[in-house]
A and B are shown apart, each in its own frame.
Chain A
Amino acid sequence: MTKFVKSNEAVVMGALYAGCDLYFGYPITPASEIAHGAAKWFPMLGRTFVQAECETASVNMMFGAAGAGRLCMTATSGPGFSLMQEGISYLAGAELPAVVVDVNRAGPGLGNVYPEQSDYTPAVKGGGHGSYQTFTLAPASAQEMFDLTVKAFEMSAKWRTPAVVFADGLQGQMMESVELPEEESPRPDFSAWAAEGRPETRRNLVKSIYLDAAQQEEFNRHLQEKYARMAADAMSESKMTDDAELVIVAFGISGRIASTAAGELRRAGVKAGVFRPVTLNPFPREALAAAARGRKIMTIELDAGQFADDVRLNLAKAGLGAEAASVRMVHRMGGEVVSVDDAVKAAKEMI
């Protein structure tokens, strides 16, 4: 069945299909429609919606609900996402699955409610304390807001680490058609570790504390080994890269701008392609290397270059030093969006 919905609403639908039982949230523009949808639809399905007193409460309510073995989520935007970082670190430290949606607005500080991708570092690299990682997905359409929310729950449960759905204000407000699946995902079984309040889980303990330094180090090694294995679940999309002389690398809404720009460049005789990471952590390094080898690289992004730096880092780690050095960025900030014209102009200058 196809529905024409706001991307923010598609997130709630995805969560419900994925088997999310609890939503904890504090409203913030431009993510509020997620709370609105959850407040209506979760109770209608007999599930739980709680309006928390602040984002610190939201994330710690998730800690409790996830610790008790249920799938749960929250959604927020920049300032609220900052407040949640301590809690996300605790979720990762206790190896709990939970999904946080960040509909990025312009910052720093209060900024404004228009789109940016400037939460890149906390959304992708783990914004809280300690050496942890989240599974981070970057949707580019209402369909992906649905699909990648479902995926976020699946990956978060699989890897027992919080997942971040990293969107932006523009796409949060956008309406597009979404194809809904026939069936809902089955609930995962967490009884091996969760505190569920029944005899089978009586001696389970959910914690992130290891008082002994050696034990804490061992646990950190376990986490790092786990994160390394996560790379197998990296996702990306390559378009027209086979014969490209220039590859535009961009994620989320910028990936769509890249796609239109590449089409115009092709019509103008420039062999342009697009590489769009769908997961930002794990970063699809091998796929990027395959698409980028021997090409000039341009990024489109709505930040100050945090993403371009990550592209350079991943190219360099893949052994593509020359390609890393070629990376040029086209970006806007403050809620302005990169225009196709600017992207095309910059690409032509690179050729």
Chain B
Amino acid sequence: MTAAEIVRGYLTQLNRAADALAKREGRTRNLIFMEICGTHTMTAFRTGLHSLLPPTIKLLSGPGCPVCVTAQSDIDQLLNLATTPNTTICTYGDMLRVPGSTQNLGGENRKSKIENQKSLESARSQGADIRVIYSTLDTLTYAQNNPTREVILAAVGFETTAPATAAAILQAHSTNLKNFSVLASHKRVLPAMTALLDSGEVHIDGLLCPGHVSAITGSAIFQTLVEKYHLPCVIAGFEETHMAAALATLAEILATGTPQLLNNYKEAVTPHGNPAALALIHEVFQPASVRWRALGEIPASGLTIRNKFAAFDATKKFNLPTLPDREIPNCLCSKVILGAASPKNCPLFATACTPIHPIGPCMVSSEGTCAAHFKYARHLSHTTIRAATVRERQAPSKEGGFHAYVA
């Protein structure tokens, strides 16, 4: 069977389940499923899955793009460090173009002499040593080979990337590497989802849970969401066929009337996750209250470096001041991240903010909702693309309506 046939099969299954649900509820309503993971967002757009969904099924992006949820103050902190003499920043490629808020509050020794400090990319064009890495261990090698430079790893991402950061810190610890440190902005998925759902601002009918994160954390963590919010949860892999299957499963769970957690990605995900990776995270990091873009400070939602490894914590090593968290004026990223606004609601989208001149992080990361909209769906007519947001006015209903901003 081809991928097209498989997807068609699942979409038929999805429609059938939606019909069964309508019959049970005595009315037809729109179903909104949220995908948390940025990779799912990308897959849905890249493969054209959105354009195949029936008009009553919406796929909404959640707070799962690591670059997008990184607090503006963390970005500014990184930009200040990047422009400090004798410093090298090692970063994942996605972070390169995230704009700073142009504040410069780093004190006398960090006062930037570089004009127009805007992003790691522009800092690099002005001579800052910024290296795009593929693996955290590349950072260690670079630090070893350049003992006179301070080498700082910009560590972002969820439970998926945290083990690799932990491994690098442990290796630096065991080899007593003095010129390596980490500016850690790691986040945990579950506390963010809980905060989002607690807010009551976003109503969804089911959750497409991230396969990568679940492979590390285990599927069981999502059981809380089923119990507390009566939300069907399905863990899915990253192929378009996996996503279509998971959407069908979500609708089928809804039709039964009993929310539950199902693991559709058993080849990679077990109930209790990857013990080795979890042990690495636990050894090096501790859960802490951290700032998110859009969500503000959420208890236990981040991973900060334990005191034992304080020598590798850039915040402590360089005694970095806490920066105020400034949102970018007019930028709706904070609402887009929550699924509470469509990119098209943003006055900057596709006018001032484009992938060439990004203003907010959602336009920078290839996983960002704005970038995905701009890239894959901007020109397509409303009838062909049912994008990850709701375009038509939809009255909020007690049963689970959605507060849509009207384009």
Q: Do the two chains bind?
A: no
